Every structure is written in structure tokens, then in C-alpha cells.
Amino acid sequence: MTIRVVAKNNVKPEKIQEFIGLCKNLVGESLKEEGCIEYGIYQELENSGILTMLEEWKDENSLDKHLNSNHFREIFPLLSEYLEKETEINVYKKL
């Protein structure tokens, strides 16, 4: 069963470029993972401070492995200092 993750981030205006840089590292490493179908960072057209990670995983096991990977555990905690508020994360299964 395919799993989709939508992680919406409200980034401080002065921190947008640094946030994108960290996310691009996370994206690059995550795309190498077994079970990763898609992983990217998207910027809202009307508000450049809203940056959303869109991920697609083969199954829940693949997502769990990602959440426990070294690169995720190193980079994800660093992202919070760039945010105006906590990341909104939604996880979906394909029907």
C-alpha cells in the first residue's frame, strides 16, 4: 500500500534559503532509499515562506526505515529553528 506524506512548513522569511539548503540535502539522501518513490520540496506560489515536503513511499515499512535513517535523524531536528510554527505533517494511504 503506497504511503504519501505531506509536511507543511512555515519558515521565517530570513531563513528560507538556509531551510531550502538543508531540505535539499535531505531530499538527495532520501531519494536513494529503498522504497522511496518520490521525495521533493515545494514552495507555495503566493507565500514563499510556506515550504512543503511531498513524499511517496512503497509502504509503511519503507517510511519507518526512512524516519530512522541517519540522514533524517540528523537533519530533521535542525529544521525546527527555521520555523515560525511547528511543522504540520499528514500521512495518507492510497485507496
Total count of domains within the chain: 1
Q: What is the pLDDT of residues 54-89, one digit of tens each?
A: 999 999 999 999 999 999 999 999 999 999 999 999
Confidence (pLDDT) at 24? 96
Predicted TM-score (pTM) of this structure: 0.93
Indicate which CATH number applies to the domain containing 80: 3.30.70.100
Residue 5: the pLDDT is 98
Grid coordinates representing 54 are 511531498
List 69's β-bridge partners, or say none: none
The boundaries of the domain holding residue 40 are 3-93
pLDDT 10s digits, 10-31: 999 999 999 999 999 999 999 9
Inter-residue long-range contacts of 54-57, CB under 8 Å, 24+ positions, other chains counted: 54/4, 54/5, 54/6, 55/4, 55/5, 55/6, 55/7, 55/30, 56/2, 56/3, 56/4, 56/5, 57/2, 57/3, 57/4, 57/5
What pLDDT, on the 0 to 100 scale, is given for residue 28?
Answer: 97
Query: How far apart are the C-alpha atoms of 21 and 26, rounded to whole Å?
Result: 9
